[in-house]
Amino acid sequence: MTAPTTPSTSGQRRFRRKSERIDDLAAGRSLSAEALRRLRRDPVALTGAAIIGVFVLVSLAAPLLAPHGATETFPELQENLRPGQIPGPQPGFPLGSDQLGRDFLSRMLLAARQTLLVGVMATLIGLSIGMVIGVLAGAFGGWVDTVLMRVTDVMLAIPSLLLAISVAALAANPSQTTVIIAVAVVSVPIFARLLRGSMLAQREADHVVAATALGVKRPAVVLRHMLPNAIGPVIVQATLTLATAILDAAALSFLGLGDADPGRAEWGLMLAQAQSYLEVRPALAFFPAIAIIVVALGFTLLGESLREAIDPKGRR
Amino acid sequence: MLRFIVRRLLQVIPTLLLLSVLVFAWLRSLPGGPATALLGERATPERVEELNRILGLDQPIWTQYLRFLGRVLTGDFGTSSITGEPVLTEIGRAMPATIELSVAALAIAVALGIPLGYLAASYRGRPLDVSVVVVTLVGVSVPVFFLGYVLRDFFAVDLGLLPPSGRTSVGIDATSVTGFAVLDGLLTREFDASWDALTHLVLPAVTLATIPLAVITRITRASVLDVVGSDFVRTANSKGLAPGTIRGRHVLRNALLPVSTTIGLQTGLLLGGAVLTERVFVWGGIGTLLADSITLRDYPRLQALLLLGALVYVLVNLLVDLSYAVIDPRVRLS
């Protein structure tokens, strides 16, 4: 099918989309292959993916890109300054230094890695626990379902930041691990409910009934026939959670529940620490803030277009 | 209808009971246990043991839980470990500030979000729609506290248009009636006090409103698009009804149903956001109390705030569900 050379009306466009879908099905493409095809043409998805790509590349290559170490201090930068001043950009230090005389550019680059780590670990932990709960509840139903869903109800009844705060407050000494766990806990009930919902929808589906009738064992039915078809919305949610995890971690740092390690370079932590130096050097807050906003936006863009791409109703 | 209300009310009870178990377990797993949490880390073992006895922590766990539940049900949330005041008194004092802030923020979010979402949906795919969608996506990606600082530095510090922090200016002598500063000024006819409180309210309310605003706009847009594509709207169109009638009676009315649920869900976000916003603007409400409790490790206060926060959230969503049933008969019949 060739793309029309003249701008088409929305009616024509809609017709074209519909016929593409029919082509897809006729060609025997799976729903996920079709979704991927739609994603590849979606400028929103591509923008999100590009942002995430750069972010991941920077965090992987950070030690090579960063001219200095994260904890290396340069007292000589502060020699000609009045006390309380923070050195600005100068040769060798394109972004100046931070409040402790460390190269700000290097810390920004190295922080990409820690920020990615916090986001990914928190999401993975939340996802794994949430999935176990969701699969158990959705596959078994009955009292297992009732009990598990009551627990998630309660977790959802606590406003998310309050929940994260109360988990983080349990630690005697805040660290990166406690931040990751606190942020992860918040997403557990969301993943669990989502997966349970789409597992329930699968239970009565023809292919599941057929598999059961053919004598496929229960665990295999659940894991091989129900789960793969129910996982779509969960993947979307995980992408969106990567964004909120990074933002929540920043909020915890701001409230003093963040990582207590003064050497750690992580955007949320750097942003929270920079609040005390806003008048002196706002750049210390702006760079990490912009980095967080762009990365969170990247995950949100990709997540939202994923949601649209896997929507069986197609794009309206 | 009455049956629906009763059934929905009964559903809340297990949730709240389980919540009390969770909070109880939370209090018991605090570093060093509740006694150390109360006395501080430098307490002598003898004092910890004595307090354990006073608090009944040497009793079996079930007895402890039931006593905890009994106290909470009778409204006894203990005293703050920092100020020694009953926690409930402190919370009551801070409550009006937070309610005022949240109501203002929610009002901004609803008043702007619904028209914006509707507008975006009407111009689907055009530049206006695209820019609304992009702005809402950026809106949810900005750390709330950072936005607060940026707004404060620009409008209050650089331009000097609005006060940077607090609820009232020094020198304004306002009579307190309800605790809601803007309302008090109107009630006592001290309009300058009301105006002063209003100018203080603008920046924090705008900061707190951003995320709910983005969410409400997006839901309204999606919901309107959903309804516009439905059969009954096509029927209304083909009957030749006036576009205004279709928009008001068919589209908007149906599209606002999911929006009303979303508005209820925003109260949770508002509570979380208030913690951050109040800290930036030194607002002195529940959020400030909560942030202070964390810094000072005031666990009795934190526990009460946690319980009450969840309670408010559950009740607001209950109200939303009930109002939903009033608007949409399908809900109470199912």
Q: pLDDT-derived band of residue A130, with 50, 70 and 90 as boundaries? A: very high
**Is residue B86 one of the residues assigned to a domain?**
no
In this prediction, residue B51 has a pLDDT band, given cuts at 50, 70 and 90, of confident
Q: Is B130 on the interface with A (CB under 8 A)?
A: no
Rounded Cα gap, residues B241 and B233, in angstroms: 10
Q: What is the pLDDT of residue A5?
A: 42
Residues whose CB is less than 8 angstroms from the CB of residue A248 and which lie 6 or more positions away in sequence, other chains included: A122, A160, A161, A164, A182, A183, A186
Residue B132 lies in a domain: yes
User: A22-50 as b/e, with b when 16 or more CB fall inside 10 Å?
Assistant: eebeeeeeeeeebbeebbeebebbbebbe
Cβ–Cβ gap A169/B32 under 8 Å: no
Return the pLDDT at A54: 92
Residue B202 lies in a domain: yes
- pTM for the whole structure: 0.83
pLDDT for B259 equals 85
Q: In chain B, which residues have their Cβ closer than 8 Å to the Cβ of A254?
A: 143, 145, 276, 279
Q: What is the CATH number of domain A111-314?
A: 1.10.3720.10
For chains A and B, count residue pairs whose Cβ atoms are closer than 8 Å. Answer: 123
Q: Are B309 and A162 a contacting pair at CB < 8 A?
A: yes
CA-nearest residue to A304 within chain B is B137
Residue A8 is predicted with a pLDDT of: 44
Check: CB of residue B98 under 8 Å from CB of residue B274: yes
Cα first-last separation, chain B: 11
Question: Using 50, 70 and 90 to split pLDDT, how confident is the model at A1?
Answer: very low
Confidence bin at A129 (pLDDT 50/70/90): very high
What residues of chain B lie within 8 A of the CB of A251, using their CB? Answer: 143-145, 272, 276
- The count of structural domains within chain B is 2
B178 domain residue, yes or no: yes
Q: Closest Cα partner for B306 from B11, B8, B10, B25?
A: B25
pLDDT in tens, A62-115: 888 877 777 777 777 676 666 667 777 777 777 777 777 788 888 888 888 889
Are B138 and B149 in contact by the 8 Å Cβ rule? The answer is no
The candidate with the shortest Cα–Cα distance to B89, out of B100, B75, B68, B99, is B75
Tell me what ipTM this predicted complex has.
0.82
Amino acid at position B98, single letter: T
B51 and B194 co-located in one domain? no
CB neighbourhood size of B4 (10 A): 16
User: Is residue B87 situated within a structural domain?
Assistant: no
Smallest Cβ–Cβ distance between B19 and the set A157, A171, A301 belongs to A157
Residues B64 and B172 in one domain: no
Q: Is B181 exposed, middle or buried (0-12, 13-18, 19+ CB in 10 A)?
A: buried
Q: What's the confidence (pLDDT) of residue A246?
A: 92
Asked if residue B104 and residue B65 are part of one domain, the reply reads no
* pLDDT band, residue B323 (cuts 50/70/90): confident
Query: For residue B137, what are the CA distances in angstroms to A38, A123, A261, B214, B215?
Result: 21, 20, 32, 7, 9
User: Are A234 and A127 a contacting pair, CB within 8 Å?
Assistant: yes
B299 Cβ contact partners less than 8 Å away, ≥ 6 residues apart:
A169, B27, B30, B34, B37, B38, B81, B293
The domain locations on chain A are 111-314
Q: Is B302 on the interface with A (CB under 8 A)?
A: yes
pLDDT digits (tens, 9 = 90+) for A49-71: 999 999 999 988 888 887 777 77
Q: Which residues of A touch B229 (CB under 8 A)?
A: 316
Among partner residues B15, B146, B302, which is closest to A153 by beta-carbon distance?
A: B15
Residues B156 and B273 in one domain: yes
Closest to B214 in 3D by CA, of B106, B113, B102: B113
Nearest residue of chain A to residue B30 (CA atoms):
A170
Query: Residue B156 and residue B171: Cα distance in Å, rounded?
Result: 19
Q: What tens digit of pLDDT does each residue of B191-201 get?
A: 777 777 788 88
Mean pLDDT of chain A: 81
Residues of B in contact with A169 (CB under 8 A): 30, 294, 297, 299, 302
Share of chain B above pLDDT 70, in %: 90
Of A10, A169, A243, the CB nearest to B141: A243
Residue span of the structural domain in which B12 resides: 2-73
Quote the CA–CA distance of B313 and B86 in Å, as a whole number. 23
- pLDDT at residue A200 tops 70: yes
- In this prediction, residue A165 carries a pLDDT of 86
Q: Domain for residue B120, yes or no?
A: yes
Establish if B82 touches chain A: CB-CB under 8 angstroms. no
Say if residue B189 is in the same domain as residue B141.
yes
Residues B187, B43, single domain; the answer is no
Query: Do B11 and B153 belong to one domain?
Result: no
Q: Which helix (H) or strand (E) holds A9?
A: none
pLDDT in tens, B137-171: 888 899 988 998 888 888 878 787 778 777 776 66
Contact yes or no for A159 and B272 at CB 8 A: yes
What does the pLDDT average to over A219-224?
85
Whether B241 and B290 share a structural domain: yes
How many CB atoms lie under 10 A from the CB of residue B232? 12
User: Same domain for B220 and B281?
Assistant: yes
Give residue B170's pLDDT: 67
CB of B138 less than 8 A from some CB of A: yes
Whether residues B50 and B108 share a domain: the answer is no
